Chains A and B, each alone.
Chain A
Amino acid sequence: MVTEQTTLSNLAVEVENLERIYKIRGSKKEKNVRKELVALKDVSLQIKRGELFGLLGPNGAGKTTLIKILTTLLAPTSGWARVAGYDVVKEPGKVRTQINMVSGGESSGYGLLTVRENLWMFSQFYGLPSKEANQRIEALLKIVGLEDRIHTKSSDLSTGLRQKMNIVRGFLTDPQVLFLDEPTLGLDVGASRDVRHLIRNWLDQDRSRTLLLTTHYMVEADELCDRVAIINQGRVLACDTPSALKQQLQRDALFEISVGALNGLAVPTLERVPGVRKVASEESEEMTVLKFILDEDAALGGVINKLTESNVKIVRLDKHEPTLEDVFVSLVGRSMAEVEKEGSNGDGK
């Protein structure tokens, strides 16, 4: 019993067999036709206190749905979840005292209020003393480089600056578990780096804090997260540290071959070349990049032969260390860009 309690208190987020199905109403003509969309299927996760946990997946994978359930905004269809030790369905009030959330591209607050006023207002909903709130607002705005806009009406901010304000809103209330849903969406490279820096510092200040981040930027997940869950079509396909996930591919040979026109060569035919485990392709206007996971380097000869036979011009060939992108390809069989292109079902609903 004592052991079980200790285990529970060490877990910031606990998810067991979670499932969420959306019922979608048809258009006016098909009013009575009810469709169902499975957004999450049999998801189980455990996130320890102090962890920076990443949910990685393409648009429509179910990341946002999971965040909504964990932040008490959505009830699961079946299964259960706890945040900071409290059940999200049975004890939403207790969960809410422990969390905050920021999503990318949101337009929260009131346009006619200034940045400071909007942030102050939200701090009050969490019970922060006004003086403390104002001091923290100023200091946090300084960190994200928004201090000179403190008295600007939020309607006058650009999308990127508004996103910075939202990020400050998340950190302002000192949550135990912070959910960041695509926090760097719409931010430029420099601002994204600042945000990643802020995230790391915030966690380092207090090891009892936990941060759950969703992203579809592989590099971001790789650079930041202690552990990553790769999610696609509502299912968790793998969950481990980025290095452990990549380790699985360490013994494989990873090649990227940039080619000109494929001249009718179908990508799946390349998978039939002996020694080829997975192939994914990403097309741009000028060339196609073929990503190969091979059993060993020697298999490359067969691939080159196949390409040459089909008169495909090889522009460039690289061998590289495994990345999370390769992990995704090895799990799903396609690159994340391909999955998104193939018609995601909206933004994770």
Chain B
Amino acid sequence: MQNISALNRSESWRSFWMATWLGWQIESNWTDPFLFAVYSIVKPLASAGILVVMYTVIAKGNFNTPIFPYIYFGNAFYIYVGAVMSGISWAVIDDREHYKTLKYMYIAPIHIPAYWLGRGVARFLTGSIAVVITIAFGALFLQVPLDLAKVDWPLFFVSLFTGIAMLAMMGLILASITLLIAHHFFLIGEAVAGALYLFSGAIFPLDVLPAWLRPVGFAIPITYWLELMRRSLVGNVAQAFPTLSHFSNLQLVGILVGLSVIFGIASTFIFRFCDYRARERGLIDRVSNY
């Protein structure tokens, strides 16, 4: 029994590392200046730029309000949501429809969810650089308040790692669903990330949403994660908005961990279900272009 579990564990690790290497080879490469510029500088800064211009048009260039850093940090960390979720789920489409290797991965003695997680690592790493560059740009040129001496580092790292694990679980759920759907002309990970943007209080406090939509925001872990990231970096800004201010840091971490565990368990069941349906309907090796 012990041997079997050790074998499974080593199989998962092997799948994960092999996929990480593979993802690195085909997804992105820091040594290619063009790709580095696209994914780590231009796209994230442009995305922040949209919000900055929107804010500037209305606030006439007054950056010294709590809402501006609220929007800026929320948007910066949200880069992880798109990167991790689409990094993992895109592997399904890329393997199935482009490289046509999904079927071979399936019959190989690897652990498919671990393989998908590995394929997402490359995007996670480039995403990390994008987050750093975006925040640095804000601090240097847009008066975003960031004092490294005042940052609550333990809270920052605990929240960051828990959050990444949580996003990876959400990515797995998406990858599982991708098994069942056709190849449309967009990245499902980014489409879902774009939609969750609305509910997670990333770029506006949840109070702005109509009351009946707020429960969705409270149900997704990203909301608490972003709040924790803001609190660890600039505590006073986060507390300027009432939505989550009655929760202590510890309570927020507790909620985040609890929800992450729930999503982790859900991802296992959803993978099993989608995997079963995909094999039942013969979708593992389909090419669905139109």
Contacts and interface: CB of A to CB of B under 8 A. Distances in A.
Q: Do chains A and B touch in the complex (CB under 8 A)?
A: yes
Contacts of A111: 286-290
A156 B285 CA distance: 10
A113 interface: yes
Interface string B172-205: 0000000000100000000000000000000000
A107 B289 CA distance: 11
A112 interface: yes
B282 A112 contact: no
Interface in B237-290: 282, 286-290
A218 to B, nearest CB: 31
A337 B290 CA distance: 39
- Binding site of A, secondary structure by majority: helix, strand, loop or mixed? loop
Contacts of B282: 156
17 contacts: A107-B287, A110-B289, A110-B290, A111-B286, A111-B287, A111-B288, A111-B289, A111-B290, A112-B182, A112-B288, A112-B289, A112-B290, A113-B290, A155-B286, A155-B287, A155-B288, A156-B282
> Which 6 A-B pairs have CB atoms at the shortest separation, nearest pair first?
A112-B290, A110-B290, A111-B288, A111-B287, A155-B286, A110-B289
A182 B117 CA distance: 41
B37 to A, nearest CB: 19
Contacts of A112: 182, 288-290
Interface residues of A, number: 7
- Binding site of B, secondary structure by majority: helix, strand, loop or mixed? loop
Interface in B102-155: none
Contacts of B288: 111-112, 155
A113 B287 CA distance: 11
Interface in A68-124: 107, 110-113
Nearest to B282: A156
A113 B282 CA distance: 17
Contacts of A155: 286-288
Interface of B: 182, 282, 286-290
Interface string A141-184: 00000000000000110000000000000000000000000000
Nearest to A110: B290
Contacts of B290: 110-113
Nearest to A155: B286
Given A111-B290, A113-B290, 15 more contacts: A107-B287, A110-B289, A110-B290, A111-B286, A111-B287, A111-B288, A111-B289, A112-B182, A112-B288, A112-B289, A112-B290, A155-B286, A155-B287, A155-B288, A156-B282
A107 B287 CA distance: 9
Contacts of B289: 110-112
B200 to A, nearest CB: 34
A118 to B, nearest CB: 11
Contacts of A110: 289-290
Nearest to A109: B289
Nearest to A113: B290
A281 to B, nearest CB: 33
A224 to B, nearest CB: 32
Nearest to B183: A111
Nearest to B283: A155
A105 to B, nearest CB: 12
A113 B286 CA distance: 13
A113 B288 CA distance: 9
A107 B97 CA distance: 12
Contacts of A113: 290
A108 to B, nearest CB: 11
Most chain B C-beta atoms within 10 Å of own C-beta, residue among A107, A111, A113, A156 = A111
A200 to B, nearest CB: 33
